[in-house]
Amino acid sequence: MKVLLVEDHIELAQNMHTYLSKEGYVCEVSASTEQAMSKLGGFDYDLLVLDLMLPDGNGLDILRWVKQTNTKMGVLILSAKNSLQDKIEGLELGADDYLPKPFHFAELNARLKAIFRRRQLQGSNVILCEDIQIDTEKHEVMVNQQLLDLTRKEYELLLYFIVNKNRVLTKQSIAEHLWGDYIDALDSFDFVYQHIKNLRKKITEAGGKDAITTMYGSGYKFISTQ
Amino acid sequence: MKLILKFTLLFLLISLGVFFVGGLITYQVVKQEIDEEQERFLLERLDFFSRWIERHSPTKPFIRDKIQVYPLESGIETDIIFSDTLVMHSTLERLETHIKLDVTKSINDRLYKISLFDLIVEEDDIADSVRESMIKIYLLLTGAMLLVGGLAGAVLFKPFNKTLAKIKSFRVDQKEPLTFSKTGTEEFNKLNTFLEEMTGKIQQDYRSLREFAENASHEMQTPLTNAIGKLELLLANGSLNPEDNDRVIATLSSLKHLSKLGQSLNLLTKIDNREFHNIEKINFTDKLAQALDNFKELMDLKSISIEQQHQDKVMVNMDPTLTTILINNLLSNAIRHNHEHGFIKTFLDDKRLIITNSGPALDVDPNTLFDRFRKDRQKSEGLGLGLAIVKKICDYSGFRVAYNYQQEQHSLEIQFNI
């Protein structure tokens, strides 16, 4: 999976680069509109991660330009502005998703994988991990060929774990992934535990392996040896 | 009252005084002129009769209409004396005021007492005619002034009215600068130039402020993302000892808090800058039902029961984004400041929205509840900006918001039409 990161904050770009490289992405970084355009002109990328505010222009200009020639590439907009107008404009111009800063890297990873799945895996929307099989088209989970009866949140939680397997996910990151804008209503993230408990129970009851482990104090991790 | 009408009325009021004084002057002048003319006329007649007496040298009194000549045996010459007297008018057959000239003069060595009369133009008559003409002229003037006023309002003040209409529709966040077409009136041109400059400056300041708010948010969020990312990489290694782990988790939550603070302050600034101006008719009932649906799961997690009493199709004029933020903030608040197995009641009709929830009493003064960073000490997780945002949105949308606490029930009431 080739990704072009367009972000002018060098530290952050390197951070993302490190994280995504570990996830198996092939990453390149551009810090300006000009650099990004020359790279996009010369190479093919599967995904474009685009910051909107760049020193030499607006990321939306790159998006406009890119969408004229390359419609196969998935685009994720990063924005610090968190302005509805930018979001709407970006999505109308053909971006696949919009992620406001600050974000958890696990969230970035999950969003990128989702875009990639939607764009590239024509026909096959099945993710396999250990004995779990997720059909992202039908939103169905099979364990040992047995269909799991999951709530929407449990499904999203499992997908989030598998996409970020072997990584520690903080309760906060999980809570934000599941509840997004409504997180303000919560006075603690303890309820994340309830969901995880239910999910583990459903998986083990179907005879699946309990791959979710609690990392003391920090969060949870889905362990996969594959 | 319109300026032009005020001006016309003021003018007419002053004219009334001028006409009054003018009438008096006219009366005086006319009267004096007439008096002089009559005296001159009598003097001419005196000359004429003097010559007649010279030729005829009458010895008997000669009395005709408006003339009496008496030959005198003895006496002295006198000066000409004018006086007013009442004389029987021959054709009108009644007493009329006449001017009278008396003189005793010697003609052909004989003394004659000569009295000449003439019908006088009465003072009343002069006053009447002066009054009548003044009133007629004044009425004419009034008519003319009203006509001029109307025309001036329609023609002269047209550019001014145009300017007014333009200012009225001026929005500080509009992209185009305010421009006025050139007029033929110097004052209006000055006004328009001044307004163009002023609104241009306002727009520029507004843009800078807005850019600053957005840049501040941007400049803050990107390093925060970076810091959060670095800490998450640290966690992901799993190589930290439990104490360091706790420190990293605590730092992460502080960073998240900081980021939200920036976003909330940014939102307050945006509302202050009036950036939410897509005022439209919002189906509040739908929005509320939708939000309650979104929060359903969070309420379930805390085992909070919900009781709804909503009137159908409540339409409210406000910005859709702000509507969502308002409802979400209210519901978040009601869930957060609730206890397990508590309740939330929502009441909505076309006048008000009331959200009531169970929960422990606050230890802050309810009057300061809507201030920024005013929050209950027990719940330090919140930003302390939620209700400040609610208040700001209500003020902006022309609603009134009030808080009430009774018997372990918090209730927030929003009145739509005030």
What confidence tens digit (pLDDT) does each residue in B238-250 have? Answer: 778 888 888 888 8
Do residues B234 and B240 make contact, with C-beta atoms less than 8 angstroms apart? yes
> For the ranges A207-221, B211-225, B309-323, which has the lowest average pLDDT?
B211-225
Mean pLDDT, residues B201-218 taken together: 81
Distance between CA atoms of residues A209 and A220, nearest Å:
16
Based on the fold, state whether residues A25 and A41 are members of the same structural domain. yes
| Same domain for A96 and A180 | no
CATH of the domain at B373: 3.30.565.10
Radius of gyration of chain A (CA): 18
Q: Which residues of chain A have pLDDT under 50?
A: none
The answer to whether residue B146 scores a pLDDT higher than 70 is yes
Domain count, chain A: 2
B286 pLDDT more than 90 = yes
Mean pLDDT of B57-74: 84
Q: What is the pLDDT of residue B345?
A: 94
DSSP, res B154? I
Same domain for B291 and B245? no
- Write the CA distances from B375 to A19, A144, B372, integer angstroms: 38, 51, 8
Which helix (H) or strand (E) segment holds residue A3: the answer is: strand A2-6
Residue B405's pLDDT is 85
Chain B residues with beta carbon closer than 8 angstroms to that of A105: 229, 232-233
Residue B349: domain span: 280-415
* Tokens standing for residue B202: 């306002």
Domain boundary among the residues A120, A148, A182 is at: A120
Provide the 3-class DSSP secondary structure of residue A5. strand
Q: What is the pLDDT of chain B when averaged over all its residues? A: 86
Positive or negative torsion for Cα A153, A155, A160, A165: positive
Report the CATH number at residue A45. 3.40.50.2300
Last residue of a domain, one of B220, B239, B272: B272
pLDDT of A169: 87
**What pLDDT score does B135 carry?**
92
Residues on chain A touching B229 (C-beta within 8 angstroms)? 12, 15-16, 19, 105
Query: Does residue A74 share a domain with residue A130?
Result: no
**Of the residues A98, A120, A142, which one is the last residue of a structural domain?**
A120
B178, part of any domain: no
- For A28, the domain range is 2-120
Prior bond to B177 cis, omega within 30? no
Of B244, B272, B300, at which residue does a domain stop? B272
pLDDT value, residue B173:
75
B401-408 long-range contacts (CB < 8 A, ≥24 apart) are B401/B370, B403/B366, B403/B369, B403/B370, B404/B366, B405/B361, B405/B362, B405/B366, B408/B358, B408/B359, B408/B360, B408/B361
Within a domain: B134: yes
Please say if the pLDDT value at position B343 is more than 90: yes
* A80, A185, A218 ranked by CB distance to B298: nearest: A185
Same domain, A167 and A201: yes
User: Is B248's Cβ below 8 Å from some Cβ in A?
Assistant: yes
pLDDT at B383: 56
Q: How many domains does chain B have?
A: 3
B116 and B65 assigned to the same domain: yes
Q: ipTM of the predicted structure?
A: 0.78
Facing A84 at nearest CB: one of B229, B235, B321:
B321
CATH number, domain containing residue A183: 1.10.10.10
The predicted model gives B208-234 an average pLDDT of 82
Specify whether B16 is located in the same domain as B126.
yes
Per-residue model confidence (pLDDT) at position A69 = 79
Listed residues B126, B142, B158: the one ending a domain: B142
Q: Above pLDDT 90, what percent of chain B? A: 26
Q: Which two tokens stand for residue B171?
A: 């929005």
What's the rounded mean pLDDT across residues B83-111?
A: 82
> Looking at residue B285, what is its pLDDT?
94
Alpha carbon distance B62, B290 (integer Å): 123
- Work out the pLDDT band at B197, boundaries 50, 70, 90: very high
Q: What is the mean pLDDT of residues B97-107?
A: 86
Query: B308 and B406 in one domain?
Result: yes
Domain identity same for B7 and B136: yes
Chain A residue closest to B331 (CA)?
A185
The alpha carbon of residue B212 is apart from the nearest alpha carbon of chain A, in Å, by 11
User: Which residues from A are below 8 Å from B245, CB to CB?
Assistant: 216-218
Task: Flag if B224 and A102 touch (Cβ within 8 Å).
Answer: yes
Q: What is the pLDDT of residue A50?
A: 92
Last residue of a domain, one of A120, A135, A158: A120
Confidence of residue B35 (pLDDT cuts 50, 70, 90): confident
Q: In the structure encoding, which two tokens stand for residue B42, read together?
A: 């009598």
